[in-house]
Amino acid sequence: MAIEEIEGIFLAQLIDIYRKYGFKYDNRELPDYIPTVLRFLALRYNEHSPDINKLMGMTLKVIRKLKNKLSKDNPYTYLFDLLSDVLSQIQNNNYDL
């Protein structure tokens, strides 16, 4: 299976998750736009459903990969560190917003 097919399947699954939970997003943006995913997770993080847990884990991996691609002096490094820490704590049930 080609990367494009995998990405297409992921985007379709993400749209299905948004619909399932009644989440409305700006469909002029891709559903995997990080601010959109984070807004969705902020609204649903405490539900602990398989969908939410899987999306939380996938988002955490993406955030970590993006952070690792940044240079040490990039100011966004701190933001990605914070996001990674908060998502990890939520995923481990050690944090409540």
Interval 36-60: pLDDT, tens: 999 999 998 888 788 888 898 889 9
Question: Dihedral (C-alpha) 7, 25, 37, 78: value to the nearest 10 degrees?
Answer: 120
Q: How far apart are CA 64 and CA 80, in angstroms?
A: 7
Nearest to 88 by CA among 29, 49, 26, 45: 45
Residues in the chain with pLDDT values less than 70? 1-3, 6, 94-97
Q: pTM for this one? A: 0.81
Residue 39 Cα to chain centre, angstroms: 9
